[in-house]
């Protein structure tokens, strides 16, 4: 049983993927988090990816698809997985279709977290993330128990470099040009499920779980 989290930058894909991963006991696979780990470790891939990420651009397809294929081939994905931030282009979606077939895996639903652009800009300014475990917070909407400290692993929270306003605007433009067409792609496959991402974090989670239950 596989799920994809789709949505604009800052829509809440990561926040919801973490909640669903706990609820369903499935691995959360975030390509953004994978790249950030590579950047931190200064690997070759990290150095290449950073050039694109810092500009708000997508990392080229060829640097992403094998990474995801390898991850999906691991044992823990056999009973389910939650992809967050992948696919982001039609080419990635088509490659994923082939890879899933080869691996004998299937997609149950594509969850589109819908948030208008103006709300995204405000959200990104207040986002804080844990560079160790990927925990995501918001200074106002989803604060940690202790200011600046991750609830899960007690490490310090940081602000992502690509959350500066101009970079966020670029990411939104890239989303509309390259990723939004995936809504129609998965609508045609009859597995798209759209939720209102402007409600509270907990309410969005409840609505996703409810909608998935109705589909089952
Ligand atoms: P990635 O890390 O995936 O970034 P993104 O898609 O831009 O999404 P974000 O992580 O910024 O937002 P999110 O939707 O996860 O929201 P979050 O839950 O954090 O990718 C980064 C970069 O890597 C890309 O720009 C690209 O360059 C590259 N990349 C990654 N995958 C790629 C691929 N497949 N192909 C090519 N390049 C790729 O929430 C945002 C904030 O809002 C948080 O502060 C949160 O606390 C708050 N919040 C969440 N939900 C709510 C709510 N309901 N109400 C109020 N606040 C909320
Ligand atoms: Mg994210």
**How deeply is 175 buried, as exposed, middle or buried, from its count of CB atoms within 10 A (0-12, 13-18, 19+)?**
buried
Determine which one of 36, 50, 88, 123 is catalytic.
Answer: 88
DSSP string of 34-88, one letter each residue: HHHHHHHTT-HHHHHHHHHHTTTPPPPHHHHHHHHHHHHTSGGGTT-EEEES---
Pocket lining: 58 vs ligand 1, CB cutoff 6 Å: yes
Ligand nearest to the CA of 90: 1
Q: Please indicate whether residue 203 is annotated as part of the active site.
A: no
- Which of 56-65, 94-103, 114-123 is the least confident region? 114-123
> Under a CB-based contact definition with an 8 Å cutoff, are residues 83 and 5 in contact?
yes
Residue among 20, 31, 205 whose CB has most ligand 1 atoms within 8 A, to mutate: 31
- Quick one: pLDDT at residue 122? 87
Of all atoms in ligand 1, which is nearest to the CA of residue 57?
A: 27
Of all atoms in ligand 1, which is nearest to the CA of residue 35?
A: 23
pLDDT (average), residues 54-61 = 96
Q: Please indicate whether residue 127 is annotated as part of the active site.
A: yes
Q: How far from each other are the two terminal CA atoms of the chain, in whole angstroms?
A: 11
Domain 2-208 annotated CATH 3.40.50.300: yes
- Quick one: pLDDT at residue 46? 97
**How deeply is 198 buried, as exposed, middle or buried, from its count of CB atoms within 10 A (0-12, 13-18, 19+)?**
middle
- Quick one: pLDDT at residue 128? 94
Residues 6+ apart with CB under 8 A from 110: 3, 4, 6, 182, 186, 191, 192, 193
pLDDT, tens digit, 9 for 90 and up, residues 25-46: 999 999 999 999 999 999 999 9
- Quick one: pLDDT at residue 161? 86
């Amino acid at each position: 049983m596989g799920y994809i989290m789709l949505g604009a930058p800052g829509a809440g894909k990561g926040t919801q993927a973490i909640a669903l991963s706990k609820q369903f006991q499935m691995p959360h696979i975030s390509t953004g988090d994978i790249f950030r780990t590579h950047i931190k470790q200064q690997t070759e891939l990290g150095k290449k990816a950073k050039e694109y990420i810092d500009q708000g651009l997508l990392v080229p397809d060829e640097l992403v698809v094998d990474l995801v294929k390898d991850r999906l081939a691991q044992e823990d994905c056999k009973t389910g997985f939650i992809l967050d931030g992948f696919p982001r282009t039609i080419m990635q979606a088509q490659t994923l279709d082939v890879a899933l077939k080869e691996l004998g895996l299937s997609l149950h639903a594509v969850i589109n977290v819908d948030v208008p652009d103006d709300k995204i800009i405000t959200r990104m300014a207040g986002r804080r993330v844990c560079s160790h475990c990927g925990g995501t917070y918001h200074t106002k909407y989803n604060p940690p128990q202790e200011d600046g400290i991750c609830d899960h692993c007690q490490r310090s929270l940081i602000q992502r470099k690509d959350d500066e306003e101009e970079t966020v605007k670029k990411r939104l433009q890239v989303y509309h040009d390259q990723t939004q067409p995936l809504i129609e792609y998965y609508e045609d496959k009859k597995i798209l499920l759209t939720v209102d991402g402007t409600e509270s974090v907990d309410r969005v989670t409840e609505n996703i779980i409810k909608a998935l239950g109705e589909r089952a």
